[in-house]
Structure 1
């Protein structure tokens, strides 16, 4: 059809076609029949107290929507849209990596049954974390009760991914010293148990004063990882060991990514500098989501760097 028309006209026709298809897709999630009040996004001052968690995000709040309406709002423009889609797209990318691992990559490096189980567990934990985040950000505007419940599961997802990252690292670092693996793993599980208590115990439910303690324990999950890292470095003889030179830079990048994510989250950068200007795009929580996802993929790929090293004939990362 475009052979008989100018290039500009062809582009215009293509743009109209894309616009028409997109409009029809949005119509599937149309809001006909909902109350007009539900159609309006609220400002920070108009939003219910439970949604006012960030005083620097000034507009774009969905408030007290029906569950079906919450699902539809994921396809509309509000201050949660990118929070939803950064981790929903991340979930599907991680799922694709998981399938690729099972079909191709694990057979190429031939890990032990235990190592293979850790790889599967890491992928499942990461996908669970991403999916819990998507559910929380999609439906947290339904009601205060829904918000509080979903927030607990979202925090649990963060703890799950951090703990599986740590436990897998301890396993691979001390595979020939199981007593060290048990010792470090036990401390990590104790920290996870504290997170669970702060998160799910009824006496702490809905208490804002518990949030700093929860964040402190989550940070401890990361900071404690420095101890086995230093121990592993020393046991291998420092930078003289090939495995240390190979993996230490990757471990440093992981700690850097996680530290950056927590700093952005804690200090609400950049919206604390530009209140109301990054409500929809480039807010701290969106940056947090992207960095978290990058750290998950980075550690997943680090596992295969380790597997390739071990498949070269090395039987233990730490000599017995």
Structure 2
């Protein structure tokens, strides 16, 4: 058995690390940027390590191999488990010990549920983006964007609810406005060009606008509570600012394609061969697309 595993193991080099053995399911190979479908050509600075042309079952198996989507998949999957664990802990320990009301339980549940949905949608997209059916890839991309919108909704629901806890009118105004914007984003996905690369900038503008809208209720909350000198504002405003700074930095990394822009040739290599196939030299026949 040990000898069989060794024969199935291929060695890949990650940066300056030594060669690592990796078990690869039969029928899965990795491709260079030039070999993948147009729908996957989102970042030209990532030159290799692409999964492509896989049926659903091999997409799932690829969860356990090293590719250029491994970090994306597992970071979101671990994020889902993190929010799931936090939800259980909050519902069974934190909120009961604080004598929370029924509304508190509902708002906390909605918030954490939205975050979990966001994480799972991203896991699904990064896992099935290599599907051999472009229609299936588009559906998962749509779910990913829908998940991002749901995650933003989760942030707004909890923030607006407690910021305007004593002002029911403005609470309803902002919650209805946010819900209307999220629904508008959902309906925008119906447009056939919405998920194309040509509309990538427009999608970014839309999500930045939805996220940036939060500045309006925040400033309104500061004004209602007596300005920046008020103790409650000084306690909570820095946290809101930090959240927006983190979101802005993440967006800047995304649109600037850093750090891969400066290290485009630092992709994985296998025993000196480009990482096109986990042991199958470039140009050799591959039967992954024939799998059911």
Alignment TM class, shorter chain as reference:
0.7 to 0.9
Identify if the C-alpha distance between structure 1 residues 175 and 86 changes in structure 2 by more than 3 Å, giving closer, same or farther: same
Counterparts in 2 of 1:1-320, with a 5 A limit? 31-32=25-26, 34=27, 39-142=28-131, 143-199=133-189, 201-204=190-193, 206-277=195-266
Superposition TM-score, scaled by structure 2 size? 0.80
Query: Alpha-carbon deviation of 1:205?
Result: 5.2
Using the alignment, how far apart are the partners of 1:191 and 1:215 within structure 2?
A: 15
Give ranges in structure 1 of 5+ residues lacking alignment.
1-15, 24-28, 281-320
Identify if the C-alpha distance between structure 1 residues 206 and 92 changes in structure 2 by more than 3 Å, giving closer, same or farther: closer
Corresponding residue for residue 304 of structure 1: none
Give ranges in structure 2 of 5+ residues lacking alignment.
10-22, 270-292
Using the alignment, how far apart are the partners of 1:221 and 1:169 within structure 2?
A: 15
Greater per-residue strand proportion: 2
Query: For 2:35, what is the secondary structure of its paired residue?
Result: coil
After superposition, give the CA deviation of every residue in 1:128-167 in whole Å (9 maximum; x if it has no partner): 1101111111111012111110000001111111122022
- Contact 2:141–2:195 (Cα < 8 Å) also in 1: no
Query: For 1:204, what is the secondary structure of its paired residue?
Result: coil
Using the alignment, how far apart are the partners of 2:216 and 2:194 within structure 1?
A: 32
- Contact 1:174–1:181 (Cα < 8 Å) also in 2: yes
Using the alignment, how far apart are the partners of 1:232 and 1:202 within structure 2?
A: 36
Using the alignment, how far apart are the partners of 1:77 and 1:156 within structure 2?
A: 27
After superposition, give the CA deviation of every residue in 1:256-307 in whole Å (9 maximum; x if it has no partner): 1111111111221111222232679xxxxxxxxxxxxxxxxxxxxxxxxxxx
Identify if the C-alpha distance between structure 1 residues 273 and 182 changes in structure 2 by more than 3 Å, giving closer, same or farther: same
- Contact 1:84–1:137 (Cα < 8 Å) also in 2: yes
Query: Alpha-carbon deviation of 1:50?
Result: 0.8
Corresponding residue for residue 298 of structure 1: none
Superposition TM-score, scaled by structure 1 size? 0.73
- Contact 2:118–2:150 (Cα < 8 Å) also in 1: yes
- Contact 1:58–1:279 (Cα < 8 Å) also in 2: no
- Contact 1:132–1:153 (Cα < 8 Å) also in 2: yes
Question: Per chain length, whose mean CA-contact separation is higher, i.e. which structure has more relative contact order (CA < 8 Å, sep 6+)?
Answer: 2
Query: Alpha-carbon deviation of 1:192?
Result: 1.1
- Contact 1:70–1:141 (Cα < 8 Å) also in 2: yes
Alignment size in residue pairs: 250
After superposition, give the CA deviation of every residue in 1:179-227 in whole Å (9 maximum; x if it has no partner): 111222222222212211222x143354333322221111011111111
